[in-house]
Chain A
Amino acid sequence: MSQGIYLDNNATTRVDPEVLQEMLPLFTEHFGNPSSMHGFGAAVGGKIEWARKQVQALLGAAHDSEIVFTSGGTESDNTAILSALEAYPKKREIVTSVVEHPGVLALCEYLEKKRGCKVHRIPVDKRGNLDMEAYRAALSDQVAIVSIMWANNETGTIFPVEELARMAKEAGALFHTDAVQSVGKIPMKLADSAIDMLSLSGHKLHAPKGIGALYVKRGLRYRPMLRGGHQERSRRAGTENAPGIVGLGAAAQLALVHMGDENTRVKALRDKLEQAILAAVPSCFVTGNPDNRLPNTCNIAFEYIEGEAILLLLNEAGIAASSGSACTSGSLEPSHVMRAMGVPYTAAHGATRFSLSRDTTEEEIDRVIAVVPGIIAKLRSLSPYWQQEAGKPKEFAPVYS
């Protein structure tokens, strides 16, 4: 497995060795508490401020104090939404989309059930594009916050966040975006943006797990979720995860360097993989909007077979991918993103995501191209929906419960 082909970078990425090098002294050498009044602490404090500037640069933010370090994407998402509701107690509505990450969706569901909030979930079309009319209609002066992702983790489809943020602003609502998948892949200049808050996660851009950040535009009404010490200017209490923060800083610096590579070489590899699979395998299609998506993501729905079985066979071949199938998640429903786009169940269960990174090589992509058609054919030969001889789906009508 150690020499496997890793195409699940939207789930998590490998820590860049340069990032690790930056982090290591923080464990044993510069171990002080940045809040302490001695040299041990001061050295760490300086490193943290350096890291903050790197994240600021990656986001194109106007001030480094707009960056609040957190434990990751989910904490940032929760903090942003809860902060808006507390800062504007008279506004009890939230606007979000049906394809958000659970970090947003599960919180909204909870707020709806237990706190009496009204949640508008904006639908998407067959290609995963947001219904702009429904969005416009949901905005009002009752909306405390809009939380809509920059790019979708399953399909890579990009939402027009800048336009959405401007519309939210006109309606007097805050705009938050979960940019966990897009930071480091899409150039950003938040200084000139209407976006008020933005979540990012370290482990999606070659920093370690357990570190992330929330961008909070200067002057925004904000209420912390964690109260305690004065860390992060009292916006996120708790002793700083200094090694993680420095790792995120180093990763942000590298992400700026490699962004060109992501959008040229990696993108070309993704396109090569996708076109080769579509050409070699019948009855499969790309989900989401292929014309407007992240450069590293490709999600192909293989009809009449199930995703977990695909992943198990890929894994045997040393290839790591991911699936929108129900059976990989422990729930019984296929991915909410696939269902939201109206992908039929027989295809949604076979939706397979290949997500590349700057570590991906052409040899690896060629291996995958060679292996995938055989795996799909093997599983289809087992499937009651698939007519081997004709190579076409056949009539199969089981008793459904």
Chain B
Amino acid sequence: MWNYTDKVKEHFFNPKNSGVLDSANAVGEVGSITCGDALRLMLKVDPDTQIIQDAKFQTFGCGSAIASSSALTEMIIGKTVDEALTLTNRDIAEYLGGLPPEKMHCSVMGAEALRAAIANYKGEAWEDDHEEGELVCKCFGIDAAMIERAVTVNGLTTLEEVTHYTKAGGSCQTCHEKIEEVLEEVLAKTGALKPAKKHTPGTVGLDAIKPLEPKAEPAAAPKLTNVQRMQAIMSAIEEMRPQIQRDGGDVELVDIDGKDIYVRLSGACSGCSQSAGTMMGVQMKLVEKLGEFVRVKPASLMPAHAG
């Protein structure tokens, strides 16, 4: 059972302004039939004052769709067309005391019907560019279509970046598998791991969602080529081996994956309670040598496809 507010219930069980408005001079029809929503909004606008004198709706949809439509008409009657245009879907949701994240699209439909109706009044063409997909992140109400858009527009390649740009997966973290699936699909479609384009925050979908601040890049050291960098890592590890071997152990470089350096500890090191300390030591040495931040990880943590 959905957790609807009393306000939503009030507008669902006793909707205001439902039905046909015969004197309408502006009509907006929007909908997403696959999602089970469709809304016809009818307005009567006074041509002299531009004030919306009356509004009625007809809605095919669930409880919150009907409540959102009813709330919308109450909110816009008496406003001028321009005042009404400043309303966003969040205003509708707030008016209703909030909607479950799965139901935010109902408020979006209301806001779009309003824009469609006003475009119709002004004689402009109006196109619905709103897309919806499966809801992925329930904490922030982010759907698959929005993640796809964020990934494509910004050239994102990792789960972390998706979280930074859309907030998806940033709270309870239970949707990480789904986010990675969306990510994989998009990357597979776009010919995959192209170098990430310059990140341009703010170009993603719903305007109300602002990207988190990207992490500050560490101060740029003299830029090494990939070959130089690899050689530097290899020689740093070689330098450390004699010391580790004196304790009866050994360390071996297994792979370099961007900022992740995978090593294998062997001999006395494997299973030793100090091995985490040894890893930290290797990491500090590498950070110092390379002048950039890297993470040293045990080879056992390598992603399966690389192993």
Q: Which of A328, A333, A398 contacts B34 (CB 8 A)?
A: A333
Contact of A398 with B63 in the complex, beta carbons under 8 Å: no
8 A Cβ contacts from B32-67 to A: 32-40, 58-66
8 A Cβ contacts from B7-30 to A: 12-13, 15, 18-19, 29-30
Q: CA–CA, A345 to B35, complex, Å?
A: 9
Task: Note all chain A residues with C-beta closer than 8 A to B19.
Answer: 381-382
Q: Provided the pairs A316-B13, A326-B35, A396-B40 are in contact, do residues A401 and B128 lie with their beta carbons within 8 angstroms?
A: yes
Name the residue on B nearest A326 (C-beta).
B36
Contact of B36 with A398 in the complex, beta carbons under 8 Å: no
Q: Provided the pairs A332-B34, A400-B31, A400-B32 are in contact, do residues A309 and B66 lie with their beta carbons within 8 angstroms?
A: yes
Contact of A332 with B29 in the complex, beta carbons under 8 Å: no
CB distance from B213 to the nearest CB of A (A): 31
B83 in the interface (beta carbon within 8 A): no
Chain A contributes a number of interface residues (CB within 8 A of B) equal to 32
B257 in the interface (beta carbon within 8 A): no
B94 in the interface (beta carbon within 8 A): no
Contact of A305 with B13 in the complex, beta carbons under 8 Å: no
Q: Mark A337-351, 1 if CB is under 8 A from B, else 0.
A: 000000001100100
Q: CA–CA, A349 to B59, complex, Å?
A: 13
B134 in the interface (beta carbon within 8 A): yes
Contact of B29 with A398 in the complex, beta carbons under 8 Å: yes
Contact of A309 with B62 in the complex, beta carbons under 8 Å: yes
Contact of A399 with B60 in the complex, beta carbons under 8 Å: no
A397 in the interface (beta carbon within 8 A): yes
Contact of A332 with B39 in the complex, beta carbons under 8 Å: no
Contact of A401 with B32 in the complex, beta carbons under 8 Å: yes
Contact of A399 with B128 in the complex, beta carbons under 8 Å: yes
Scoring A308, A309, A398 by chain B CB atoms within 10 A of each residue's CB, the highest score goes to A398
Main secondary structure of the interface of B (DSSP, over half): mixed
Q: Which of B63, B129, B134 contacts A309 (CB 8 A)?
A: B63
Task: Note all chain B residues with C-beta closer than 8 A to A50.
Answer: none
Q: CA–CA, A401 to B128, complex, Å?
A: 6
Name the residue on A nearest B13 (C-beta).
A316
Name the residue on A nearest B38 (C-beta).
A398
Contact of B31 with A398 in the complex, beta carbons under 8 Å: yes
Task: Note all chain B residues with C-beta closer than 8 A to A307.
Answer: 36, 62
CB distance from B30 to the nearest CB of A (A): 5
Q: CA–CA, A20 to B102, complex, Å?
A: 37
Name the residue on A nearest B102 (C-beta).
A330
Contact of B116 with A399 in the complex, beta carbons under 8 Å: yes
Q: CA–CA, A346 to B105, complex, Å?
A: 18
Q: CA–CA, A288 to B33, complex, Å?
A: 22
B248 in the interface (beta carbon within 8 A): no
Task: Note all chain B residues with C-beta closer than 8 A to A384.
Answer: 29, 38-40, 58-60
Task: Note all chain A residues with C-beta closer than 8 A to B128.
Answer: 399-401
Q: CA–CA, A401 to B2, complex, Å?
A: 25
Q: Provided the pairs A332-B34, A384-B29 are in contact, do residues A398 and B39 lie with their beta carbons within 8 angstroms?
A: yes
B131 in the interface (beta carbon within 8 A): yes
B132 in the interface (beta carbon within 8 A): yes
B133 in the interface (beta carbon within 8 A): yes
Contact of B134 with A331 in the complex, beta carbons under 8 Å: yes
Name the residue on A nearest B1 (C-beta).
A315
8 A Cβ contacts from A363-401 to B: 381-385, 396-401
Q: CA–CA, A334 to B62, complex, Å?
A: 12
Q: CA–CA, A337 to B217, complex, Å?
A: 50
Q: Provided the pairs A332-B134, A349-B36, A382-B66 are in contact, do residues A399 and B127 lie with their beta carbons within 8 angstroms?
A: yes
Task: Note all chain B residues with C-beta closer than 8 A to A308.
Answer: 2, 62-63
Contact of A399 with B31 in the complex, beta carbons under 8 Å: yes
Chain A interfacial positions (CB closer than 8 Å to B): 304-309, 312-313, 316, 325-328, 330-334, 345-346, 349, 381-385, 396-401
20 A-B residue pairs with Cβ-Cβ distance under 8 Å, sorted by A, are A306-B60, A307-B36, A309-B62, A309-B65, A312-B12, A327-B64, A327-B65, A328-B62, A332-B34, A345-B33, A345-B34, A346-B60, A396-B29, A396-B38, A399-B29, A399-B31, A399-B126, A399-B128, A400-B31, A401-B130
Chain B interfacial positions (CB closer than 8 Å to A): 2, 12-13, 15, 18-19, 29-40, 58-66, 102-103, 105, 116, 126-135, 143
